């Protein structure tokens, strides 16, 4: 009895140890078993990826799907409601809204992905430099982040944009100027903790140069965080672009973009032309939402993996 009791206890201990080993063990083991991918297999995330794929493909193939010049004015077809000929209707200048929406998607998606990319890169470089160099670099970056976050960004952007004038490149610049702070903050915090981890200390004691430690040991461990922030940043950038364009300070009014379509639609509200308002705005909402949900999914995935 006594013996078996001890046996049981020891068995229990090993089982517990075994269990704890899988809880804190290597993430790749769970990764392979498939359960780690669950957050990405969530139906909302899958639907979001599908929506973005369809939209992206349609935007890429716009010249094939809806041939013709998106800004061609046709005054014989002004403000037509949706029909078989014009799926989304036409606007006050007789332009086909579906064609404009698909060509607009090209500009809006380009601005969103590029601006968020520049912002992520800026944040990554500044955050890494601040955390790794420390000292006055850190102090300067932190103050800059604080100042940029405390500032109601729109006022400054409008001031700058009124000088630069509307162009797609300027919109990308403006939007990335607002998006880098969060990335810098997160990258800085993560780098500070990574810097003290054993593998970095080991690399340093082996005589690795600073660059090698940053690029080979710290940077790869930051990329999942940056990927999440990038995804959320694309959604924000998309909304920002449409807002600037709506105010007449974004993409030049002659080019199709979702914000410009809504800006034009304002004139159609009182005549009851709901389609000019509902479709472009709905597209922005749908796209931003899909990107946000993918960002959430990525975040849950990486959190489980870590």
Partner 1 sequence: MARLAISRLAQALLLLLLVSIATFCLLRLAPGDPGALLYGPNASARDLAQVREGWGLDAPLYIQYFQWLSHAASGDLGRSYVDGRPVLSVIEERVPATLELALSALLIAAASGMFLGVLSARTHSTWLDQPIRLLTTAIYSTPPFWLGILLILLFSVHLRWLPPGGSQNPAGSGGLGDLLSHLALPVLVLAARDAARFARLTRASVLAVASQDYVRTASAKGLSRTAIEIRHIFRNALSPVFAVAGTSIPGLLSGAVIVETVFSWPGMGRLVIESALQRNYPVIMGEVLIVAAMAMGGSLLADLACAAADPRIRHPSRG
Provide the binding-site residues for partner 1, judged by CB under 8 A: 44, 143, 146-147, 149-156, 158-163, 235, 239, 242-243, 246-249, 259, 262, 265-266, 269-270, 272, 274, 277-278, 281, 284-285, 288-289, 291-293, 296
Tell me how far, at minimum, the Cβ of 194 lies from partner 1, in Å: 23
- 156 vs 203, beta carbon nearer partner 1: 156
Q: How far is the CB of 139 from partner 1 (least distance, A)?
A: 12
Q: Write down the least CB distance from residue 91 to partner 1, Å.
A: 14
Q: Cβ closer to partner 1: 140 or 208?
A: 140
- Which residues lie across from 269 on neighbouring strands? none
Q: What angle do CA 250, 103, 157 make, to 5 degrees?
A: 10
Q: By C-beta, is 40 or 156 nearer to partner 1?
A: 156
Q: Do the Cβ atoms of 97 and 89 come closer than 8 Å?
A: yes
96 phi and psi, to 5 degrees?
-75, 125
Token pair of 199 as six digits: 């593998």
Q: What is the CA radius of gyration of the chain?
A: 26
Nearest to 274 by CA among 80, 132, 105, 25: 80
Separation of alpha carbons 101 and 86, rounded Å: 12
Q: How near is the Cβ of 163 to partner 1 at its closest, in Å?
A: 4
83 or 266: CB nearest partner 1: 266
Q: 219 or 277, CB closer to partner 1?
A: 277
Find the shortest distance in angstroms from Cβ 125 to partner 1.
20
Is the distance from CB of 300 to CB of 39 less than 8 angstroms? Answer: yes
């Amino acid at each position: 009895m006594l013996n078996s009791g001890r046996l049981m206890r020891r068995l229990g201990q090993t089982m517990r140890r075994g269990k704890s080993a899988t809880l804190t063990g290597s993430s790749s083991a769970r990764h392979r078993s498939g359960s780690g991918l669950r957050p990405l297999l969530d139906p909302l995330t899958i639907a979001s990826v599908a929506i973005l794929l369809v939209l992206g493909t349609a935007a890429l193939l716009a010249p094939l799907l809806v041939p013709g010049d998106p800004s061609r004015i046709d005054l014989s077809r002004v403000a037509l409601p949706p029909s078989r000929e014009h799926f989304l209707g036409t606007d006050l200048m007789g332009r086909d809204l579906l064609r404009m929406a698909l060509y607009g998607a090209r500009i809006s998606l380009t601005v969103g992905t590029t601006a968020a990319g520049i912002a992520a890169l800026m944040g990554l470089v500044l955050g890494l430099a601040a955390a790794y160099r420390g000292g006055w670099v850190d102090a300067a970056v932190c103050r800059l982040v604080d100042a940029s976050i405390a500032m109601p960004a729109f006022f400054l952007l409008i001031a700058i944009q009124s000088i630069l004038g509307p162009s797609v490149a300027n919109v990308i610049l403006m939007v990335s100027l607002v998006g880098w702070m969060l990335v810098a903050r997160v990258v800085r915090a993560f780098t500070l903790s990574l810097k003290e981890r054993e593998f970095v200390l080991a690399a340093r004691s082996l005589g690795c140069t600073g660059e090698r430690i940053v690029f080979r040991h710290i940077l790869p461990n930051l990329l999942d965080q940056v990927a999440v922030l990038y995804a959320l940043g694309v959604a924000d950038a998309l909304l920002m672009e449409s807002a600037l364009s709506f105010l007449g300070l974004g993409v030049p009014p002659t080019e199709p973009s979702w914000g410009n379509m809504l800006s034009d639609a304002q004139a159609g509200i009182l005549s009851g032309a709901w389609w000019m308002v509902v479709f472009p705005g709905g597209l922005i909402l749908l796209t931003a939402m899909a990107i946000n949900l993918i960002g959430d999914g990525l975040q849950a995935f990486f959190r489980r993996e870590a």
